[in-house]
Every structure is written in C-alpha cells, then in structure tokens.
Amino acid sequence: MDQIIIHVDMDAFYASVEIRDNPELRGRPLIIGSLPHERGVVATASYEARKYGVHSAMNIKEAYRLCPNGVYMHPHFEKYRAVSQQLHAIWDAYASASETIALDEAYLDVTQMAGSWERAQVFAREIKRRTLEELHLTCSVGLAYSKSAAKTASEEKKPDGYFEIPTAEDFVRLILDRDVRVLLTVGEKTGEKLHRAGIRTVRDIREKQQEVVRLLGKQGVWLTRLAFGEDHRRVTPYNPQDAKSIGREVTFQEDVSGRPFLKDVLFLLALSVERRAARVGLCGEGVTLKLTYADMKGITRSKRVASTRSAWTLYREAEGLLDRTADRPVRLIGVSLTHLSDQAYRQLRFEDILHDGAAEEEKETQAALLRLGERYGLDFAGNLDKVFRSDTLYRTIEYMRRHRKG
Ligand code: TTP
Ligand code: MG
C-alpha cells in the first residue's frame, strides 16, 4: 500500500472545550461567537444547536432567530490554542509526518510507523481513545489510502466517528452517486457550474470527463482524477507554531509594470494571508514584501508592526514598502506576515468573530474588494472561499493581469 493516512478533526471544537470546562452547558444548544446583540457571526455551534440549523459563519442575528433559547458565548482563543497544542502532541506521536490544517484538524502519515493497515487501525483507535481519556474531548477519525479519502472518512460518521476507506475502489463506491460537492475543492460556485451542465454526481464527472475539463480547466483535471479515487498528494509536514512566517506570492505569466495593478494583487495576497493566519490562530508583528524583477534580481523589504493579521493592515504596510522601491517590470510579488509568536497570539483581538473592534477595517476591506471586483469585472461576493484556494487565486490574478486597463 502506497500511503496510509489518518485525518482527525475535533467535533464542534470550540463548543466542546467550553462544555468540557463547564458541565452545566452539557446538553444545551451552545453557540460560540458574537453575542446576539453584537455584530458578527457564529464561530461554531454544539451539535444540539445545529439541530436548529445554526452553523459556522452564520450571522449571529440569524442564529438567534433560529435558536433564541441557546447559550451564546464569546470564544476563548487562548484556551483553544493551548488545547490544540495538547491534541497535536498526542496525534503526532503516531505519524512520521503531520500536517496541521487547523487548530482542531490534521493529516497524519502513518505509513511507516504503522507498517500495515491492521496496525494503522490500532493507531486510529488509539488516537480516539487517548484524545478522549487525556483531554476529555471527542474527535472524528478517518483512515484511508489518500488525503481526500481520509478527510471524507472522518466526516462520514461525525461526531465521535470512525470510518475507513482502504482503497480507491472503496472510495469510489462510497461517493459515486453523491453530489459533486463531496469532492475536495468543489465549493458552491463550482458545484453550481457543474450542476448547470447537468453534472450532478461523481458518476456524472466520470462519464463526462472532457466536459468537466473544458468547464473547469486544471481543477477539472484534478476532479476527474479524484472521481476515480486518484489522489497522490503527500502529507506535508507543517506546524504553524514552527512557522516563522505565513506568506503568499504569485509569479506572473508575463512580467508586469504598473503600480496600480501590483497593488491590487498585493491586496488579494494580503487577504489570503489573513485567512491562512486566522485558520491557525496566529498573528504577526512584521510585514515583508518580496519582489523579483524581470531580470530575476530579487529584493525583500520588511517592517515591524503592532501585532496583527488584518488584511487591510498587511496591505497598507506592503503598499508603503512597494512605493519605496524602483518602478521596474516585476515577475513575482509576495507578501508575508512575519514574527509570528505566542506573544503576538496573546494580543489577538477577536477580529474574525467579533467585528466590533475591527469593524472599520473590515468595512474598508469589503469596500476595497468590491471596487477591485468592479475594476476587473469579477464577482467576489459570496465566492471568496474559492478565490483564495491556491490554484484559483493564481488564475484570478492571471485573469486580472490580462484584463487590466492601463
Ligand atoms: P470545524 O472543524 O470546521 O468545525 P467544528 O470542529 O466546530 O465542528 P465539526 O464537528 O463539524 O468539525 O472548525 C474548527 C473550529 O474552527 C470551530 O470549532 C470554530 C472555528 N471556526 C470558525 O471560527 N469559523 C468558521 O467558519 C469555521 C468553519 C470554524
Ligand atoms: Mg472540527
């Protein structure tokens, strides 16, 4: 067997930690995020609250309308991050490589350490047992031959789930007649696009491969492979605590001159960095701009800032750095958030969830995104999750490059 991979994901993570630490909350619908009278969204909801239709990213007013008897609570990020470290410490012991996807989620490559499928099964059970016994929290675990299948498996029996997908054939059999949305990277927009073309299920993708590729390009190629269970991606060791920076860069198909366009690209890159930093719960105290010119000479320019991960701050600082460089044709541009630290984390504002403090910045960001979209004839609204996936972001930026005016 080529790879044996475990995907583990905590159940209703923030909510479960709060319930563990305050048993009076057990059995009640618990909503972590803004409070109903504030502006903001739901970070997560306990499974009891989900029965009312409450879910992550839902506007808090909407949640309150659906579930007025729920318990509403602000998040305690420091606590979740501490728990996250304990979780990853348990899980990492079973893997030769582990890739942290979020505070509560990881891929573990157990191929070598387990050595056989049977022993990997033991590892998976152990991970569930130790997570429960040592941290008093439940998780869902998927054991599979690939990353995609492992992720699907961990979702299959949530909460407190365990599911196995030993081979590509098993994976295909499981998802064949499910909606295309079951495939990794198919979000709302791509799903709609496929549906409009009469491609509703994984089976349809297999039967209409050429059309899928024509509709979706590179992503289509990936999806047709996935529809046959093919996914050779490796678990890439990544631990955000070790990371010294979180950055994003793009190499243009053709060299680019012109500040306004470069600034637009910087803005998108900054937004992407913000999202990535938010996912792993980190802030930084430095901003670095990276440029490679047409003649392959590269420069970096850095600046220290007050602890942040706000896209708007990142963008403004990077823009300032760009303004002080020579105006030459550019081949690559990148921005990163540096000096990530626990210190920085402790100063974290609840900016993603509680928009009160960061409301102005958030408004600036949204307005800027709207203007950006209008300039290039792109509709970013409601489409952002997809836009910030690596391959889509590159394609979006390339599209912008070709369609820019001036
Ligand atoms: P998830 O693993 O997506 O959700 P969950 O653990 O709450 O629930 P599930 O049982 O379905 O896995 O995210 C982990 C945590 O990340 C979640 O507890 C809160 C936070 N989060 C947000 O703050 N905003 C979001 O939009 C999402 C999806 C999660
Ligand atoms: Mg989870």
pLDDT of 200-211, one tens digit each? 999 999 999 999
Using alpha carbons, select from 363, 358, 374, 360 the residue that is nearest to residue 264: 374
Q: How far apart are CA 237 and CA 254, in angstroms?
A: 32
Catalytic (active site) residue 133: no
Number of C-beta neighbours around residue 221 at 10 A: 13
How is the beta sheet containing 71-73 ordered, strand by strand? 42-45, 30-33, 71-73
- Asked whether residue 194 falls in the same domain as residue 282, the answer is no
Task: Give 40's pLDDT tier (boundaries 50, 70, 90).
Answer: confident
Verify whether ligand 1 is closer than 6 Å to residue 11 (CB atom). Answer: yes
Give the end of a domain, one of 37, 61, 77. Answer: 77
Q: Is the peptide bond before 23 cis (omega within 30 degrees of 0)?
A: no
HSE-up of 291 (CA within 13 Å, CB side)? 26
Domain span at residue 32 reads 13-77
- Asked whether residue 22 falls in the same domain as residue 66, the answer is yes
Q: How far apart are CA 13 and CA 101, in angstroms?
A: 14
Task: Give 285's pLDDT tier (boundaries 50, 70, 90).
Answer: confident
Q: How far is the CA of 374 from the centre of ligand 2 (A)?
A: 36
- Asked whether residue 217 falls in the same domain as residue 262, the answer is no
| Closest atom of ligand 1 relative to the 10 alpha carbon | 6
pLDDT tens per residue, range 222-281: 999 999 999 999 998 766 666 678 999 999 999 999 999 999 999 999 999 998 888 777
HSE-up of 143 (CA within 13 Å, CB side)? 23
| Closest atom of ligand 1 relative to the 33 alpha carbon | 23
HSE-up of 175 (CA within 13 Å, CB side)? 30
Nearest CA to ligand 1 atom 12: 11
**Ligand with smallest separation from the Cα of 12:** 1
| Closest atom of ligand 1 relative to the 279 alpha carbon | 16
Give the pair of three-digit tokens for residue 367. Answer: 């307005």
* pLDDT in the model for residue 51: 98
The answer, yes or no, to whether residue 355 has pLDDT greater than 70, is no
Q: What one-letter code names the amino acid at 32?
A: I
Give the end of a domain, one of 184, 204, 227. Answer: 227
**Ligand with smallest separation from the Cα of 278:** 1
Q: Could you tell me if residue 374 is inside a domain?
A: yes
Q: How far is the CA of 43 from the centre of ligand 1 (A)?
A: 7
Q: How far apart are CA 87 and CA 90, in angstroms?
A: 5
Task: Give 351's pLDDT tier (boundaries 50, 70, 90).
Answer: very low
Number of C-beta neighbours around residue 106 at 10 A: 25
Task: Give 347's pLDDT tier (boundaries 50, 70, 90).
Answer: very low
Q: What is the mean pLDDT of the chain?
A: 90
The answer, yes or no, to whether residue 341 has pLDDT greater than 70, is no
* pLDDT in the model for residue 174: 98
* pLDDT in the model for residue 302: 92
Nearest CA to ligand 1 atom 27: 56
Task: Give 61's pLDDT tier (boundaries 50, 70, 90).
Answer: very high
Domain count, the chain: 3
Q: Could you tell me if residue 246 is inside a domain?
A: yes
> Which of the two residues, 179 and 307, has the higher pLDDT score?
179
- Asked whether residue 208 falls in the same domain as residue 260, the answer is no
Nearest CA to ligand 1 atom 20: 43
Give the pair of three-digit tokens for residue 30. Answer: 């618990």
Q: How far is the CA of 18 from the centre of ligand 1 (A)?
A: 14
* pLDDT in the model for residue 71: 98
- Helices 355-376 and 390-403 cross at an angle (nearest 10°) of 50
Nearest CA to ligand 1 atom 21: 43
| Closest atom of ligand 1 relative to the 352 alpha carbon | 23
Q: How far apart are CA 243 and CA 284, in angstroms?
A: 11
Q: What is the DSSP string of 261-312?
A: HHHHHHHHHHHHHHHHHHHTT--EEEEEEEEEETTS-EEEEEEEEEEE--HH
* pLDDT in the model for residue 352: 43
